[in-house]
Structure 1
Amino acid sequence: MRITCPLCGDRDRREFTYYGAADYLARPGMDAPAEAWDAYLHLRDNPAGATRDLWYHEMGCAAWLVVNRDTISHEVLSVRLVTDAQAEGGTA
């Protein structure tokens, strides 16, 4: 699999570290109830198809990325910097 880093260009997947669903960017507030924190920390979907994931460009520019990809075909649909994704919609 190849990922096109917005800063470094097309790279092999081995330069990146997968960190899970981009849902982690929607952290509950400090005053959120325990149920919200439980869901944030422990409950994740495992879809077959399109996903939004967090990846870290460990062997490159050290950027955090939101990668939209298809888990069935392994096609990378889009890649954005986390900071850009948050600026456009509040969360990734």
Structure 2
Amino acid sequence: MAVRKPTLTKGQIRKRNALRKSVGDKLGDQTFARWMKEQAKAKSVAKSDPVADKILAALKPLVRDKTIKLGNKGYSVRRAKGKGAKGFVVSKITK
């Protein structure tokens, strides 16, 4: 199966060239074509970030609270740093 080079991404071209260099042109192209076929079959599943899920669960009760306004740019949540610092630091993102 001939693979058209203009339709490949940079990463795919690198993989193809590496395979061709390591096992030869003909076998490298066959291996790359088989790999491309497997990639087309594989469905990409969006992985859920566990930390984002916990933050979402913590903020879920505040959905209907009209007094909380996050602003246009939102807020940054980071771990507190320094001697004796515990918990998190929340700061508003401004330009």
Q: Please confirm whether the aligned pair reaches a TM-score higher than 0.5, indicating the same fold.
A: no
Bigger strand share: 1
TM-score, length-scaled by structure 2: 0.23
Question: Which entry has the higher C-alpha Rg, 1 or 2?
Answer: 2
Greater relative CO, 1 or 2 (CA 8 Å, sep 6+): 1
The normalised TM-score by structure 1 is 0.23
